[in-house]
Amino acid sequence: MLAGAPLSPRETRYKFSLGRSVSRLGVARLCDSLQHTEVDSENVTMTAINIAKTIGVVLASAATLLPISASAEIEGVCSEAVGTFLTKNGLDNNGRTGTSRSLLVLTNGGHALRFDSDQMGAVMDSRPFGDSAGTWSCDGVDEDGTVRLSATTLDFTYPNAEGDAGQVARIDATGTYDPKTETMELQGRLAFLPLNSDAQSADALSKASSTIAISFTGKRIDLPKAPQPKAP
């Protein structure tokens, strides 16, 4: 059919039936509806059925990717710790120390993200590594409003030219957030695990051959105050 050409009666019935099937029957029954729809050629019928099947597969796949709802969200006073923090980081590997900075992001969905200033590994003469991602949870709120929290993040340490394989780096940390000063303080352990290990399991850190002490201290990144209007 040429673009702009008027629809034949059969094509009009097909177009109307397709629209009705989508709105009333839904994607799950669209294929069956199309199989019983009168069209001008077998090729058009097969094309329409294939399109409907594709739509169904895409929607089913999208449904599996939707985030877990509300039960996992950080609520109440605990949500005071949600935000992005600029931190100073300290590392201590059996007396060998180093420092870096991070952007630490805690979301109200329980996600934890970290971006380090030393991802090339220069400070501790280590291999380069990528951005970190993981989870955090609220462990309670003290009487003064201090939020107690735990966080676990993972990142990949890249292989090098000397033949060392890539690894998974895991950090388990606990600490506090003070809403009065908007300051985050975390203490934790860093371990390097084999790339094919079960690095996300609860006991992964205890299976590491060694760990490094790590700390994070920082304040929330706030928007600047809006300028006050000038007096006329």
For residue range 60-76, list pLDDT tens digits in order.
Answer: 433 333 343 333 588 89
Alpha-carbon distance of 39 to 44, in angstroms, equals 7
Q: Is residue 70 part of a domain?
A: no
In this structure, is residue 149 part of a structural domain? yes
Query: Does one domain contain both 57 and 106?
Result: no
| 52 and 98 both lie in a single domain | no
168 lies in the same domain as 212:
yes
Angle at 230 between CA 227 and CA 232, to 5 degrees: 160
Same domain, 157 and 182: yes
Decide if 93 contacts 190 (C-beta within 8 A).
no
Q: Taken in order 11, 16, 19, 20, is the CA torsion positive or negative? A: negative
Query: In terms of domains, do 60 and 81 share one?
Result: no
Is a pLDDT exceeding 70 seen at residue 87? Answer: yes
The answer to whether the beta carbons of residues 19 and 26 sit under 8 Å apart is no
Residues 58 and 155 in one domain: no
Q: Are 178 and 100 contained in the same domain?
A: yes
Residue 145 to residues 124, 141, 175, 216, 232, Cα–Cα distance (Å): 36, 6, 14, 20, 42
- pLDDT-derived band at 166 (thresholds 50, 70, 90) equals very high
Q: Is 95 exposed, middle or buried (0-12, 13-18, 19+ CB in 10 A)?
A: exposed
Q: Decide if 44 is inside a domain.
A: yes
Express each pLDDT in 167-198 by its tens digit: 999 999 999 999 999 999 999 999 999 999 99
CA distance 129 to 159: 9
Which residues sit opposite 103 in a β-bridge? 86, 115
User: What is residue 58's predicted lDDT score, i.e. its pLDDT?
Assistant: 39
Q: Examine the domain organization and report whether 188 and 92 are in the same domain.
A: yes
Q: Are residues 14 and 103 in the same domain?
A: no
Residue 24: pLDDT over 90: no
Domain containing 175 equals 76-220
Q: Count of domains in the chain?
A: 2
Shared-domain flag, residues 85 and 164: yes
**169 is a domain residue:** yes
Residues 24 and 132 in one domain: no
Closest of 181, 116, 122, 114 to residue 151, by C-alpha: 114
How distant is the alpha carbon of residue 96 from its chain centre?
33
For position 50, what pLDDT does the model report? 52
